[in-house]
Amino acid sequence: MAPKYLILADGDFGPMTSKTANSVIRYQPDRVVAVLDRRLAGQVSGQVLGFGGNIPVVASVREGLALGATCVLVGIAPVGGRLPGAWRDWLLEALEGGCDIVSGLHSFLADDPVLAAAATKHQRTINDIRRPPPNLPVASGLAKAVDALVVLTVGTDCNVGKMTAQLQLVQELNAGGLRTRFVATGQTGIMIEGWGIAVDAVAADFIAGAAEWLVRKGAKDADIVLVEGQGSLNHPGYSGVTLGLMHGACPDAMILCHQASRRYIGDYREASWLRIPPLSEYVRMYEVIGSAVHPTRVIGIALNTYDLDDHAALAACEAATRETGLPCTDPVRFSAAPLLEAIISAHRAVR
Amino acid sequence: MAPKYLILADGDFGPMTSKTANSVIRYQPDRVVAVLDRRLAGQVSGQVLGFGGNIPVVASVREGLALGATCVLVGIAPVGGRLPGAWRDWLLEALEGGCDIVSGLHSFLADDPVLAAAATKHQRTINDIRRPPPNLPVASGLAKAVDALVVLTVGTDCNVGKMTAQLQLVQELNAGGLRTRFVATGQTGIMIEGWGIAVDAVAADFIAGAAEWLVRKGAKDADIVLVEGQGSLNHPGYSGVTLGLMHGACPDAMILCHQASRRYIGDYREASWLRIPPLSEYVRMYEVIGSAVHPTRVIGIALNTYDLDDHAALAACEAATRETGLPCTDPVRFSAAPLLEAIISAHRAVR
């Protein structure tokens, strides 16, 4: 039986903050019974996010249990991924109330003695999505050899839509007759797809090895593999994850993802570390550094325009195409066709 | 009392294979009583490596104990860093014989129940050098702000001399009156320097954070910080570590390290993944991608010419300078002066 989620996103539920919560609501709304955020209790997801309809926001675990929750999903992805202290009591209440726990935090909840004891006592499970599998390989370029076309999303920053772009494309490619697999590399993608590795949580020597393992597995009986990208090549904190993932996955093609209104890396978190350079500089940087291990090129741009009106969104896509010469769309808001065509054309070229 | 090491390097002791063993022998020869490698038992380090004089190679832990060993150092760094199966018995014998254990493997020996129990029983310690400290930050560019000049060694591959170059420079800079600190980022450097973090073993999200923490600590009361580099920006397995370290450390200047005779990445391990491109391409790649977070440039080349004759070694240095326009030397074989001058000049420029 599919789980019924109570999503914990206290203090963080919003279009740009509760990334894991939002994606589960977007792609598996039938599984979500409530979101816990005391600030916004009484509202519904549609009001807060612009999607997710009448999924209620509640102020307590008790309300979530009353709505039929069978699993608590830790639905924020804070910097560093650690558990906010006050949440332990909620998780204990949920375990006592009969819920399992699914968590994407870096600090593994199953290793918390109090939570682990409570899970055992109440015969519930704690699933730490980010816990790496044992015995990962060091990458050695083996992903180059897969027959499938490998497409990686890359970005101008974190949280711009690298996973969402792939999820928007995978169904249409399959519907068009190309056997296409989505390969999840982060906690949210794993929750949605049911398998994957959170490459940001493996020991650094094994980032590329994890990506290589994932691509080779995803490529079995597939024509196209769509790999979820991570971070950005110029992100002060996460660029190592980005590059390890690139060099391990050996993409034949990349889709550059950007949030059209964003000006600084990290500014969605009020950090503003670095001004985001022009898209054409990213194209060059990703192609040069990616091709150092396996020849690759950027074949399209996916813009996230959620905070623009239709006119500004369309203008942003046109400007990106003018600057880079590449097809561009917002695959959530507009048709994904320009990116689908770019992928199909790249697939034809490698056959 | 300083430890007396028996270094385990069975099947691997040699100029290009037993990296950890070799560096400890080069920089702390007085601490090494023997090397265990059954293939080469009866020889001495000088014969095998060209340095390390009469340090004997032995065939058993028993012989090492008889020579006064108080600590077994796991002195190889195999791909992936895991313990060869047969070594467990030797380590048990060493613990029973009164030795501590220092290990740089990715698989933590203190987590091995049998070894841990033996250590407790015999009141010995097991020090896993690669175990990351808890609560590392995610980097956010803070290393930019240190007053010291930060110099990072970068490379064309693993195992070309990035640590050695810094260790050759640190004493001379201090002797010249510039307060200079070596910052260790790998297991061997940590063994030699006594502190540091093995950045290749931290969870991927924290690579840059570990580097940022190290540089800020190393920069206290220092004029110059020499950061040990890792891997290479085009290494199929380790590039993520390389880039995370770069962006976390925010170097003002870089020294490019290369083994003059090497043609392929990984060929010292018979892997030959990728042909090594010209040095000038590395200079451009490191400068472009490094400067994406903090402005930086390559100020010199350190060549490792251990397997060339004097004439060929000098010719290789001259060719590197001709190609790149940068000062070049082998700081182990020849004078380090060209690199020292480049660092001093860069230090003057930022003051």
Expressed in angstroms, the distance from the first to the final Cα of chain A is 41
Mutate which of A138, A142, A205 to disrupt the B interface (most B C-beta within 10 Å)? A205
Same domain for A105 and A171?
Answer: no
Q: How many domains does chain A have?
A: 2
Q: How many CB atoms lie within 10 A of CB B239?
A: 26
pLDDT digits (tens, 9 = 90+) for A220-271: 999 999 999 999 999 999 999 999 999 999 999 999 999 999 999 987 766 6
Sign of the C-alpha dihedral, residues A225, A230, A232, A233? negative
- Going by C-alpha positions, the residue among B237, B191, B246 that lies closest to residue B214 is B246
Same domain (yes/no): B116, B226: no
A136-165 residues touching B, CB cutoff 8 A: 137-141
Give the residue-averaged pLDDT of A296-311: 97
pLDDT of residue B80: 63
pLDDT band for position B107 (50/70/90)? confident
**Over the stretch A38-56, which tens digit does the pLDDT of each residue have?**
999 999 999 999 999 999 9
Rounded Cα gap, residues A327 and A318, in angstroms: 9
Note the pLDDT of residue B2.
87
Give contacts of B274 with chain A, Cβ < 8 Å.
141, 292-293
- Whole-number average pLDDT of chain B: 94
CA torsion sign for A59, A63, A68, A74 is positive
Cβ separation B205–A271 shorter than 8 A: no
Q: Tell whether A120 and A149 lie within a shared domain.
A: no
Share of chain B above pLDDT 70, in %: 97
Total residues found in chain A within this entry: 351
pLDDT band at A13 (very low <50, low <70, confident <90, very high): very high
Domain end: A128, A160, A195, which one? A128
CB–CB contact B244 A239 (8 Å): yes
Interval B133-139 mean pLDDT = 91
Give residue-wise pLDDT tens across range A72-86.
Answer: 999 776 566 667 777
The verdict on B158 and B285 lying in the same domain is yes
C-alpha distance from residue B241 to each of A130, B116, B127, B203, B279 (Å): 19, 30, 23, 10, 20
User: Quick one: closest CA in A to B292, which residue?
Assistant: A234
Q: What is the pLDDT of residues B294-305, one digit of tens each?
A: 999 999 999 999
Of A106, A128, A150, the residue that ends a domain is: A128
- The whole-number pLDDT of residue B78 equals 59
Q: CA-CA distance, A103 to A191, in Å (whole number)?
A: 9
* Residues of chain A neighbouring B293 (CB-CB closer than 8 A): 234, 236, 239, 274
In a domain, B307, yes or no: yes
Query: Do A152 and A246 reside in the same domain of the chain?
Result: yes
- N-terminal to C-terminal alpha carbon distance within chain B: 41
pLDDT digits 0-9 by tens, A161-177: 999 999 999 999 999 99
Strand partners, B224: B149, B180
Q: pLDDT (tens digit, 9 = 90+) per residue, A177-210?
A: 999 999 999 999 999 998 999 999 999 999 999 9
Query: CA–CA separation, B328 vs B342, rounded Å?
Result: 10
A243 part of contact set with chain B, CB < 8 Å: yes
HSE, side-chain direction, 13 A CA sphere, residue B347: 20
Has residue A9 got a pLDDT over 70?
Answer: yes
- Asked whether residue A265 is domain-assigned, the answer is yes
Shared domain check, A318 and A254: yes
Q: Measured between beta carbons, which residues in chain A are less than 8 angstroms from residue B244?
A: 204, 239-241, 243
Distance from CA of B106 to the nearest CA of A (A): 9
> What would the mean pLDDT of B163-187 be, rounded to a whole number?
96
Is the domain of B241 the same as that of B98? no
A140 to B273: CB separation less than 8 angstroms, yes or no? yes
Answer yes or no: is B64 within a domain: yes
Query: B330 to chain A, minimum CA–CA distance in Å?
Result: 26
pLDDT at A81: 61
Domain shared by A320 and A184, yes or no: yes
Question: Does ipTM come in above 0.85?
Answer: yes
Identify the domain containing residue B111 by its residue range: 5-128
CB pair distance less than 8 Å for A208 and B140: no
In a domain, B134, yes or no: no
Nearest CA in chain B to A230: B205
CB of B264 within 8 Å of a chain A CB? The answer is no
Distance CA A239, CA B242 (A): 10
- Whole-angstrom CA distances from B156 to A35, A267, A295, B133, B331 are 50, 34, 19, 29, 17
How sure is the predictor about B105, in pLDDT bands with cuts at 50, 70 and 90? confident
Q: Which two tokens stand for residue A198?
A: 């959170």
- Most A-contacting residue of B243, B245, B270 (CB-CB within 10 A), to test interface: B243
Task: Say yes or no: B301 and B330 in one domain.
Answer: yes
Query: Is pLDDT above 90 for A37?
Result: yes
Q: What is the pLDDT of residue A87?
A: 87
The CATH code of the domain that includes B31 is: 3.40.50.720
**Residue A135: per-residue pLDDT:** 87
Instruction: Assess if residue A136 is contained within a domain.
Output: no
Cβ of A273 within 8 Å of Cβ of B236? The answer is: no
| Pair (A259, A330) in one structural domain | yes
Domain boundary among B128, B151, B167: B128
Residue A311 lies in a domain: yes
- Is there a contact between A205 and B80 if contact means CB atoms under 8 Å apart? yes
**pTM above threshold 0.80:** yes
Question: What's the average model confidence in pLDDT over B154-169?
Answer: 96
Residues in chain A with CB shorter than 8 Å from the CB of B233 are 243, 289, 292
Kindly tell me if the per-residue pLDDT of B82 is higher than 90: no
Q: How much is the pLDDT for B22?
A: 94
Q: How confident is the model at residue A292 (pLDDT cuts 50, 70, 90)?
A: very high
DSSP secondary structure letter of residue B43: -
| A288–chain B Cβ distance below 8 A for any pair | yes
Chain A neighbors of B140, CB-CB under 8 A: 236-237, 266, 271, 273
Q: Is A285 on the interface with B (CB under 8 A)?
A: yes
Are A208 and B79 within 8 A, CB to CB?
no
Residues A77 and A167 in one domain: no
Partner residue facing B80 (CB), from A137, A141, A243:
A137
Residue pair B255/B154 in contact (Cβ under 8 Å)? The answer is yes
The partner residue sitting opposite A244, judged by closest CB among B139, B240, B285, is: B240
Helix orientation angle between A239-249 and A279-291, rounded to the nearest 10 degrees? 50
Q: Among A57-66, A179-188, B127-136, B146-155, which stretch is predicted with the lowest mean pLDDT? A: B127-136
Q: Could you tell me if residue A135 is inside a domain?
A: no
Does residue B288 lie within any of the structural domains?
A: yes
B78 touches chain A (CB under 8 A): no
Residues B150 and B298 in one domain: yes
